[in-house]
Amino acid sequence: MAAAISLVVGSLVWVEDPEEAWLDGEIVEIKSENYKVLCTSGKTVFVKSSSVYPKDAEAPPCGVDDMTKLAYLHEPGVLDNLRSRYDINEIYTYTGSILIAVNPFCRLPHLYDSHMMEQYKGADFGELSPHPFAVADAAYRLMINDGISQSILVSGESGAGKTESTKLLMRYLAYMGGRGVAEGRSVEQQVLESNPVLEAFGNAKTVRNNNSSRFGKFVELQFDQNGRISGAAIRTYLLERSRVCQVSNPERNYHCFYMLCAAPPEDVQRFKLGPAKMFHYLNQSDCIELDALDDAEEYIATRKAMEVVGISSEEQDAIFRVVAAILHLGNIEFAKGKEMDSSMPKDDKSWFHLKTAAQLFMCDVKALEDSLCKRIIVTRDETITKWLDPEAAAVSRDALAKVVYSRLFDWLVDKINNSIGQDPDSKFLIGVLDIYGFESFKTNSFEQFCINLTNEKLQQHFNQHVFKMEQEEYTKEEIDWSYIEFVDNKDILDLIEKKPGGIIALLDEACMFPRSTHETFAQKLYQTFKNHKRFVKPKLSQSDFTICHYAGDVTYQTELFLDKNKDYVVAEHQALLSASTCSFVSGMFTSLVEDSSKSSKFSSIGSRFKQQLQQLLETLSSTEPHYIRCVKPNNVLKPAIFENKNVLQQLRCGGVMEAIRISCAGYPTRKAFAEFIDRFGLLAPEVLDGSTDEINACKRLLEKVGLEGFQIGKTKVFLRAGQMAELDARRSEVLGKSASIIQRKVRSYLAKRSFIVLRLSAIRLQAACRGHLARHIYLAMRREASSLMIQRHLRMYLARKAYKELYCSAVSIQTGMRGLTARNELRFRRQTEAAIIIQSHCRKFLARSHYKKTKKAAIATQCAWRGKVARMELRKLKMAARETGALQAAKNKLEKQVEELTWRLQLEKRMRADMEEAKTQENEKLQSALQEMQVQFKETKAMLGKECEALERAEKVVPLIQEVPVVDHGLMEKLTNENEQLKALVNSLEIKIDETEKKYEEANKMSEERLKQALEAESQIIKLKTNMQRLFELEEKFADIESENKILRRQQISTPVKRVHEHPPIPPIPPTPETQRVENGHHVNEENRANEPQSATPKKFGTESDSKLRRSFVERQHESVDALINCVVKNIGFSQGKPVAAFTIYKCLLHWKSFEAERTSVFDRLIQTIGSEIENQDNNDHMAYWLSNTSALLFLLQRSLKGSGAGAKKPAAPTSLFGRMTMGFRSSPSSANLAPALEVVRQVEAKYPALLFKQQLTAYVEKIYGIIRDNLKKELNPLLSLCIQAPRMSKGVLRSGRSFGKDSPASHWLSIIDGLSTFLSTLKENFVPPVLVKEIFTQTFSYINVQLFNSLLLRRECCTFSNGEYVKSGLAELELWCCQAKEEYAGSSWDELKHIRQAVGFLVIHQKYRISYDEITNDLCPILSVQQLYRICTLYWDDNYNTRSVSPDVISSMRVLMTEDSNNAVSNSFLLDDNSSIPFSVDDLSTSLQEKEFSDVQPADELLEHPAFEFLHE
């Protein structure tokens, strides 16, 4: 490809380098076929044109997520793209449908959490960033949609991350399959828990890897017809059996052998083991121990893993007993026996190991010896026993060891599968294949030969898949691909496995001849394949051979080929082990008992390997394959290190380069029409004039430049290999010519401008010279005239100066004399005033001193005299104290108490004096109120006089009186502050206080008497009201039952008239035990029934009439409930902005006393009705109507219901005067307007059914709220996916004035605005409470924020400057909508968009490279995390102005912080999670509404006409 490219000086190219694999540089000189290239590393190299590859100068600095989008699809381009993405922690990259995963060697938890799985669920492949979840989702979708089983092939070196990738795939498939847990653990966990066991028995150290898988593992996840996981299984293939007996240096045998040798001492003694070096199967290699690996700890961990997968302790002992027996078998050496060509154990050591192996196998020692040293040949006539020579006995020993280990490994796999659980009836499966990769070491033996054969077969399968994908791409684009040749590796496979004549066939043939050696086998290969292009004989070796594999040439050493290929199927071995007394050992060989009678036969490991490989390929061929290639970026297993040569070798071994080669055979370069025109439109600008068709424009452009072999698809231009470089070369040539023209024009312009400037300068210089001469002559003339004028003015100046000096001197002398006189006078005045002040202060001081001395002397004299008098008095008191000491002390105490009480009394008197006026005014108000109450009381008493006797038995209702504090604390503080000022007036006011106190006591007594009268009147009125209400209820019941009584009287004709008249008029009939069941749909409380008079029930009625009465009563109640439900299921609208249905239901329940019923069916009927009405979840108007009704009914229930038996406490009666007076005033009938019976909401004692109904209603409110919210999200979701990315516009078209654009960019945002407005109108029309509307839009805006922000982080094409401007304009529309909707409905919705607002704000900032990390985190994007900022900064690219992102220092700082977070095990996902919780409570709903809002609500008109609902008129 490189040879066909024409490059020019200045072209960017890739050149090979022995250390870095490839270096980029610029061609600085071209000499014939040689190029001089200046590399970016500073090195200058000379290369041939055939070894140079072009570099795309316009490639994004962060790489592309799909390498088929590369302009140049070649080896250095692929390597550079992977390195660029690895540097920004983008470890996944597509190559078509193939996923390349580069191990980061650090935790990236944000890539694998549940939020990320939710994003990839159902997304189209390639729509989001590359990820294993995308591959798993594509496989799952194909399985569900097409009904075809899928397989995912995960390959790569050990340490490349195959296991982690497999975990992620199974985790996602378990997430999609829906089988959460099985026996406490998920399917994914059960499969992964088996890894330590399989690694212990199937992994070993190789030359390159310390934990290399020596078998292939195919994990099947089984699905049922509905796509749910129904089971799982692990299939193993191609176990390397020869490693059990032969180990090359410096490799190791399987891990389990070394673990067992390092086991605890009791296990070592039980199995008679020792150090690993003493066993022949382990000491063939110098490598016994591994660094940083403790075999003893691994042994314990393996046994724990066995317990986890369901292997019992007895089975574990049996497993390790078999492993120990294999080790002892390897130490059995043979020598010549007594007979000819016979053999026997060599020495006592060999006998010891033979006996130990027999004990561990639990078989007979002699039988084990015979199975190793003898062979039984069965003929038609007799059975012949043949001795084996020592060499043949050793081969028999190794064969036994290999077959036992193989059987043990198969048993482990079956046990694990049984533990996981398989589904034999599963319809589909998704398999994940984890198998060893291509191997090429310095010494390559039979193991590498088999492994590379496996990879050749898988590569053939891979190539066919890649070519199939290429065909599908070409077919989809409707281009001709029939002439493209498909070249695969069938010739290599024929070389190895063809029958007859293949390498494996020749190897089997050599193994069957006893005298064959590796030299004869090699010579046979040389003769057979001397002309084969894939087979090469090394020059310096007589037994090696080289095969040209797809990944490179590998030289194999044949020394151990024959020994490792031999695998005899010995009947004696099978018979021996099947007869073992150990059930575990015999169980492994039960299937082979039937063959025990047959003689031994030769079995080739190579042939068996080929058969298993064919089975694996048949399994893969029956599924649709998907590929993940894992790459290990370095051998030191550390992050941020990318070794080019190492990665390049893995890409070759993984077949990625082969896939690229297949792509290059067709059309490796594919460009969308708009991109192609944008890049190459300048080659033929005339083809774009007047054209609006991109396809024709591209076709005309390619024809214009004379390119052949291209293809025009439906959406892309397809170019053959090298054509992209040719177009770029022509583009560079056009740009170069354009640059030359621009340079010529610029030089001409500069020269012309220089001439004009020079000519103007000359003209200006001449004008300046002429002007200078004229000015010189004019200056001389001015100088002569000026000299005369100067002389005249000088003489005048001198005369004036002499006069002014004389005049100024006279004035100065006069001024000085006058000033001196004035200053002297001022000084004298100041001295006089100062003397007077000093004298006054001195006199004052002397007078004060004399006064103080006199006062001090007087005080001293007084003190001395008082002291003398006091001492005299003291002597007298001491004399009297002996008799009156106790009395004197008590007197002193009482005097102090009197003084204190006097002070308090004075303070109280002052307070009462100030409060008297206020109390007087309030007494007058109370008197007027009392008079009004008395008038009302008289009227009420006259009206209810006839019913006093019946009402006396009624329960007395104690009015609830709240205590109101009387003391005015503000007044008290004011009185305290004025206390000091009023001390002087105390004596003068004492008389007035006494008089006022008497008046106060009289007024207090009068007020208390009036208060008692008022309270008694109030209690009587409340009793009368209660009795009236009960009377009304009794009248209603009496009216309902009166008609029934008439029927009963007619039926009592046979009863004597006299007995009928002995009874009083028939009162309402209480429910009998049968009729008590249902009353308006609920059961009557037994306590209420017990309180009714027992004698009022007539006991002489007939049973038939009683049953008819009960039926009519129950039917009437059911009819009432049915009428209510039939009414409310209709949309009966709203009254005064409140739902009529909710209010009607509440009034009916309140009237029927359903809240106080112990058992009822009304609530169940209502709940069923609501549930059936909201089944149609797509009708937002209907759902909003029911949200309004259920929320209003819940509010009314919240305000009405109180728990049963938890009656309100009586507040303590106020003790103060103002408290009693205030409560009496507030609870008076005049202030209440006789309205307790007319209250909208009345508290009732709620029973269990009512409380349960409230809980169910709360659940329905939350459910309807969630349905409405989710409906809005579903409506907006398809629009949001269109709003995150601006409609694409072609740059080239815009530059040339022609538009290929589509619809208006703002249309999607306007659709969102229209949807929000329509939704808000629907909620308003149904009068949904604003608190619910606010929460709906708050959560919806949060959902918009999550969707837009997550899409921005997952799609690189969205992180552009133009897209940021587009999204920002849409967010401005949302902000305008929030302002128009007002805070009552929008609330804090705009604040929920904080993440996308800050992210978009960052995208549209110019000169990002000048912004520091602190400015980003503190000013621009404080709410975004480091992972989110890093993601945006690395994905950003400017499609308008080609500006740079943030500086590398900022990127480095973010990477360091992310590494620290990862080391701290903090899982910081860069994706946001949508909050689907219920953001409100019943209390929030209760506080948002008011009871008075329902005062004017009218019940349903339909029910007002019904006779059973006359109570709704009240």
Instruction: For residue 488, give the nearest of 509, 502, 467, 515 by alpha carbon.
Output: 467
- Which helix (DSSP H) or strand (DSSP E) does residue 631 occupy? strand 624-631
Catalytic residue among 212, 426, 600, 1189: 212
Distance CA 981, CA 1479 (A): 60
Q: Is 71 part of any known ligand binding site?
A: no
Q: Three-state DSSP class for 692?
A: coil
Dihedral angle, C-alpha 810, 811, 813, 817, nearest 10 °? 140
Q: Which amino acid is at 752?
A: K
Whole-number CA gyration radius for the chain: 54
Q: Which residues contact 687 (CB under 8 A, 6 or more apart)?
A: 697, 700, 701, 704
Q: How many other C-beta atoms are found inside a 10 Å radius of the C-beta of residue 493?
A: 17
Q: What is the 3-state secondary structure (H, E, C) of 1109-1132?
A: HHHHHHHHHHHHHHHHHHHHCCCC
Instruction: For residue 209, give the nearest of 242, 244, 163 by alpha carbon.
Output: 163
- Which helix (DSSP H) or strand (DSSP E) does residue 1022 occupy? helix 986-1051
Q: Is 159 known to be catalytic?
A: yes
Q: Which residues contact 1325 (CB under 8 A, 6 or more apart)?
A: 1181, 1184
Q: Is 1321 known to be catalytic?
A: no
Structure tokens at 1153: 């006393």
**What residues pair up with 669 in beta bridges, in sequence order?**
719
Q: Is 1180 known to be catalytic?
A: no
DSSP-assigned letter for residue 1064: P
Q: Which amino acid is at 1146?
A: Y
Distance CA 714, CA 157 (A): 40
Catalytic residue among 251, 439, 694, 1392: 439
Strand segments, DSSP code E, in 1312-1385 are none
Residue with tokens 């909710």: 1142
* Chain centroid, CA 164 distance in Å: 21
- Which helix (DSSP H) or strand (DSSP E) does residue 156 occupy? none
* Chain centroid, CA 1034 distance in Å: 64
Structure tokens at 129: 């960033």
Q: Is 122 part of any known ligand binding site?
A: no
Catalytic residue among 63, 77, 231, 437: 437
Catalytic residue among 68, 81, 186, 209: 209
Distance CA 540, CA 524 (A): 18
Q: Is 583 known to be catalytic?
A: no
Distance CA 671, CA 96 (A): 14
Q: Three-state DSSP class for 850?
A: helix
Q: Is 1459 known to be catalytic?
A: no
Q: Is 162 part of any known ligand binding site?
A: yes
Q: Is 158 known to be catalytic?
A: yes
Q: Is 163 known to be catalytic?
A: yes
Dihedral sign, Cα of residue 175, residue 181, residue 184, residue 187: negative
Specify burial of residue 144 (Cβ count, 10 A radius: 0-12, 13-18, 19+): middle
Q: Is 815 known to be catalytic?
A: no
Catalytic residue among 25, 77, 96, 159: 159
Distance CA 1287, CA 1306 (A): 10
Q: Which residues contact 1121 (CB under 8 A, 6 or more apart)?
A: 1080, 1081, 1162, 1165
Distance CA 1080, CA 1511 (A): 14
Q: Is 160 part of any known ligand binding site?
A: yes
DSSP-assigned letter for residue 279: S
Distance CA 633, CA 644 (A): 8
Q: Is 1058 part of any known ligand binding site?
A: no
Q: Which residues contact 1248 (CB under 8 A, 6 or more apart)?
A: 1158, 1204
Catalytic residue among 11, 155, 203, 213: 213
Q: Is 156 part of any known ligand binding site?
A: yes
Let me know the angle formed at the C-alpha of 464 by 458 and 468, rounded to the nearest 5 degrees: 145
- Which helix (DSSP H) or strand (DSSP E) does residue 1443 occupy? none
Q: How many other C-beta atoms are found inside a 10 Å radius of the C-beta of residue 685?
A: 13
Catalytic residue among 81, 163, 371, 1417: 163
Distance CA 540, CA 528 (A): 19
CA distances from 427 to 68, 122, 433, 1035 (A): 35, 21, 19, 74
Q: Is the peptide bond before 61 cis (omega within 30 degrees of 0)?
A: no
Q: Is 157 part of any known ligand binding site?
A: yes
Residues annotated as part of the active site: 158-159, 163, 209, 212-213, 437, 439
Mark the binding-site residues, compressed into ranges: 156-163
Residue ranges of the annotated binding site for ATP are: 156-163
